[in-house]
Chains A and B, each alone.
Chain A
């Protein structure tokens, strides 16, 4: 019983991290029509930046949440640079853009290996959240509950942003029909930069708040990117609800698969994606077929 419960909590936690990663990925995909293959690298960069600041940078030990915020801002700036100076040079050439993001992801991976070395870095759980909550015979780690809460808050925030603000309306217009959005006077290229930076910030934030659970190691980018890809294929690109549902589903399959079928866990993970592709190519909540 405890085993199943623990597995469930872990699944929801991992799904929450995936949501933070995949929401930006999905928005970028929805708006710019490209899968951003640097997304795993942005996650890794955020994790490494945060881990460095928490571990002490220039003999200052940052508070965990301050470090997370700074890491997210730094990575958002990096994302803006990639979008402005690289992807912007390849307008309308989607395949070239994808290949450029792939090239960047290799460079970031090698950069991280050079700077932080090959050993995994463990990040301590923030002091305020090290304990457990007991509910009868069951025990829930505080930090995992906090991660779930953060994901829910971010989900609501993103929903409000997309559904209730002028910027959100412009983004939705851009996702639905970029050409028509341009015609009615929306500066879609500016939206590209905003959404790309926002997605980068969310990925970096996921990286650092995931670090106490997953730790930070070379290759975490290539572990996370396919998961984000699967979530978006499953949930449908450009759909917030799709990313949320997809992330939770994948969170469960990933954790249960690893616990029950360790040898085939990867295969099991991609099965729902294949089913969705066969039955509903636009994804569960998607609006267009990529």
Chain B
């Protein structure tokens, strides 16, 4: 437990001082990308990890929020209205998405969410009157909370970091709350939970809304970061990417999706310096992780760490006893 606290403190210190020890705007921007992707992955992890509901349409939800922000700004409203619209429309879309997709679980849920994600993509692509089609919507400028400009990479990084830490705290509280425990119950034993008097559907629905809230928050950061939203951000590849973050890092763990997000964003940034597309690698990582490390990187490492400790600690304890004076 102490090691965990130390690790968290070190990670926090490293994150808080990151713009000072990382050289170059490019790397600070990559860090911002990691953080808002991590919020997105946390949101998907609520369903895929803790709820056992693998959603393959989450990029569509992120896109709806991003389009809502872009459209509201384009219509001449200010940033507070745009952010509010992004969150309200994002969560409301999630509610519709949940009502439709929660008619099934398991494979059925995957299929329905995949189809819904494609519908949203198709709307973004074809409904040119609203979304400007393939050309997308451009934003102009970032909000200035309390008069602070977010235009520099470091300032935007700090904003993203604050939102990320709040999201992570909210996630921790959710997982430890009765609702979180009930959600894990519905994942492992839905029928037993039902027999115990829990309303399985309602628990899943509330989990979906929480997931939608995190997704919307990530979508707002995403659209302010890129200053642009186009259908490409909503396609199946994007949904698969965020799912890869969750699964690679470790579905159903608190920090797994964060590690997964860092891994995916870094690999993507590094690889895209050499090749223009990275779908081949994305697919290969997917297959390899699914086959060889289905539990993900964080639980996998924890398991290896525990195994190593078990090997060394018990041998150390008897040795000290034997060495003690009689």
Interaction A to B: yes
Binding site for B on A (CB under 8 A): 33-35, 37, 86, 89-90, 93-96, 98-100, 102-111, 113-114, 222, 226, 229-230, 233, 262-267, 269-270, 273-274, 277-278, 281, 289-290
A281 contacts across to B, CB distance below 8 A: 103-104, 108
Complex A-B, nearest 7 residue pairs according to Cβ-Cβ distance, in ascending order: A266-B122, A103-B286, A106-B283, A107-B283, A110-B280, A290-B108, A103-B287
Select B119's contact among A86, A103, A108, A267, beta carbons within 8 Å: A267
Compute how far the CA of A251 lies from the CA of B151 in the bound complex, rounded to whole angstroms.
49
B314 within 8 A of A: no
Are the CB atoms of A106 and B115 closer together than 8 Å?
no
Select B240's contact among A102, A262, A263, beta carbons within 8 Å: A102
Q: Interface code B108-122, partner A: CB below 8 Å = 1, 0 otherwise?
A: 101110111011011
**CB-nearest residue of chain B to A35:** B111
Are the CB atoms of B287 and A100 closer together than 8 Å?
yes
A262 to chain B, nearest CB (A): 7
Are the CB atoms of A263 and B127 closer together than 8 Å?
yes
Residue pairs across A and B with Cβ atoms less than 8 A apart, 15 shown, are A35-B110, A35-B111, A102-B56, A103-B286, A106-B240, A106-B280, A106-B283, A107-B287, A113-B279, A230-B115, A265-B122, A270-B116, A277-B104, A289-B108, A290-B108
Q: How many pairs, one residue from A and one from B, have CB atoms within 8 Å of each other in the complex?
A: 126
Select B282's contact among A35, A106, A274, beta carbons within 8 Å: A106
Beyond the given pairs A35-B110, A89-B291, A99-B243, 10 more chain A to chain B contacts, judged by CB atoms under 8 angstroms and listed by A's residue number, are A96-B290, A96-B291, A100-B286, A100-B287, A100-B290, A103-B285, A107-B287, A262-B126, A263-B128, A290-B108
B303 within 8 A of A: no
Are the CB atoms of A277 and B112 closer together than 8 Å?
yes
Are the CB atoms of B111 and A104 closer together than 8 Å?
no
Select B283's contact among A33, A90, A110, A229, beta carbons within 8 Å: A110
Are the CB atoms of B123 and A99 closer together than 8 Å?
no
B8 within 8 A of A: no
B106 within 8 A of A: yes
Select A86's contact among B100, B126, B287, B294, beta carbons within 8 Å: B287
Are the CB atoms of B126 and A266 closer together than 8 Å?
yes
Most buried by B among A90, A94, A111, A266: A266
B285 contacts across to A, CB distance below 8 A: 103
B62 within 8 A of A: no
Compute how far the CA of A35 lies from the CA of B54 in the bound complex, rounded to whole angstroms.
13
A274 contacts across to B, CB distance below 8 A: 100
A230 contacts across to B, CB distance below 8 A: 115
Compute how far the CA of A270 lies from the CA of B119 in the bound complex, rounded to whole angstroms.
7
Are the CB atoms of B277 and A110 closer together than 8 Å?
yes
Select B126's contact among A113, A226, A264, beta carbons within 8 Å: A264
Compute how far the CA of A273 lies from the CA of B111 in the bound complex, rounded to whole angstroms.
11
Are the CB atoms of A34 and B107 closer together than 8 Å?
yes
Compute how far the CA of A105 lies from the CA of B247 in the bound complex, rounded to whole angstroms.
18
A100 to chain B, nearest CB (A): 5
**CB-nearest residue of chain B to A33:** B107
B29 contacts across to A, CB distance below 8 A: none
B284 contacts across to A, CB distance below 8 A: 103, 107
A94 contacts across to B, CB distance below 8 A: 106-107
A82 to chain B, nearest CB (A): 10
Compute how far the CA of A273 lies from the CA of B104 in the bound complex, rounded to whole angstroms.
14
B287 to chain A, nearest CB (A): 4
B50 within 8 A of A: no
**CB-nearest residue of chain A to B235:** A222
With known contacts A103-B287, A110-B283, A93–B240 Cβ distance under 8 A:
no
Compute how far the CA of A99 lies from the CA of B125 in the bound complex, rounded to whole angstroms.
25
Are the CB atoms of A110 and B279 closer together than 8 Å?
yes
With known contacts A34-B107, A94-B107, A103–B290 Cβ distance under 8 A:
yes
Compute how far the CA of A37 lies from the CA of B285 in the bound complex, rounded to whole angstroms.
16
Select A278's contact among B103, B129, B279, beta carbons within 8 Å: B103
**CB-nearest residue of chain A to B110:** A98
B237 within 8 A of A: yes
With known contacts A106-B280, A107-B279, A226-B115, A99–B247 Cβ distance under 8 A:
yes
Compute how far the CA of A96 lies from the CA of B287 in the bound complex, rounded to whole angstroms.
9
A40 to chain B, nearest CB (A): 10
Interface residues of B in 107-157 (CB under 8 A from A): 107-108, 110-112, 114-116, 118-119, 121-123, 125-129
A35 contacts across to B, CB distance below 8 A: 107, 110-111, 114
B224 to chain A, nearest CB (A): 28
Are the CB atoms of B118 and A226 closer together than 8 Å?
yes
Compute how far the CA of A37 lies from the CA of B235 in the bound complex, rounded to whole angstroms.
15
Interface residues of B in 216-241 (CB under 8 A from A): 235-237, 240
B292 to chain A, nearest CB (A): 10
B114 contacts across to A, CB distance below 8 A: 35, 37, 226, 229
Compute how far the CA of A106 lies from the CA of B290 in the bound complex, rounded to whole angstroms.
14
With known contacts A103-B283, A266-B125, A95–B106 Cβ distance under 8 A:
yes
